[in-house]
Structure 1
Amino acid sequence: METLECLDLSRNQLSGEIPKSLAHLNFLSVLNLSYNNLTGKIPLGTQLQSFNSYAFVGNTQLCGKPLVECPRDISNDSTTDRGEGNIFEEDEGFITLDFYICMAFGFFTGFCGVVMTLVLNRSWRDSYFNLWNNIGNWMYVTTTIYVTRFLE
């Protein structure tokens, strides 16, 4: 069954959750589970998330990627654990709200570290601005030489 390429189980009055083993069908190129009574979250895996939402249409109690949002009764049960307005699963992926918060905090800390070092340490500040002054002078001289050679 691992080499299955096409699976159409639409309008079969299936009920319950989608088996997690379906997420491991690597060769599956066509999937249609529409208009059944499937419930719960779509199992995570590279295969099931690659299909568009039309493969799952008509399953009102089904949620998770590639579907946009979960029904209200499922989201209320899931969000009481973490106290947030949206469903956040631990295995959803690397980029989450916590990732963005940590990234912003890291940028702020690094930026303030560099700026405060330059503000408080006069010799480093002079060296830093001297470096940029030398780079600017080098760029000006190099550009002038190339333009002069080009015009001759």
Structure 2
Amino acid sequence: MFTVLVTLDVLPERLDEFLSGIQQNARACLRHEAGCLRFDVHRSAEDPHRFHLYEIYRDRAAFEIEHRSAPHYAAWRDVAARCVRPGAHVNAFAIPAFPEDLPEIPRPSRLRRRQVVAPCTDRARTSRHTPPTGWRSCQSRSW
């Protein structure tokens, strides 16, 4: 497992372009890169123009080869060049200190098509007509 932590400051006048670009990139990474296990985009609670990206890849090669050669990454680099304040982009790379303690990270695309998550319990169920465990606590919701 290989983790990429990115902090960057966005030019205020380019914020909308940045948000669109990073959303497209994050979604494309998860959809088209088998080695991308997670791609989270966070906005700073203190500075509305500072963002933190949290990316997890199967291994370093999945990041350096598969990710960096993807067409959506090239498009993202163009957006970042226009939108990120120069000198305000910091990358950090990490590996798990205790890999044996980490749970497996499922890729979103690996969920079965008919599997849904019950909104009241966060437990997976496979049929829309079978109420989840604890369904009485959320009877007001229509299934």
Q: TM-score range by the shorter chain?
A: under 0.3
TM (norm. structure 1) is 0.19
Give the greater-gyration-radius structure (CA): 1
Decide which structure has greater helix share.
1
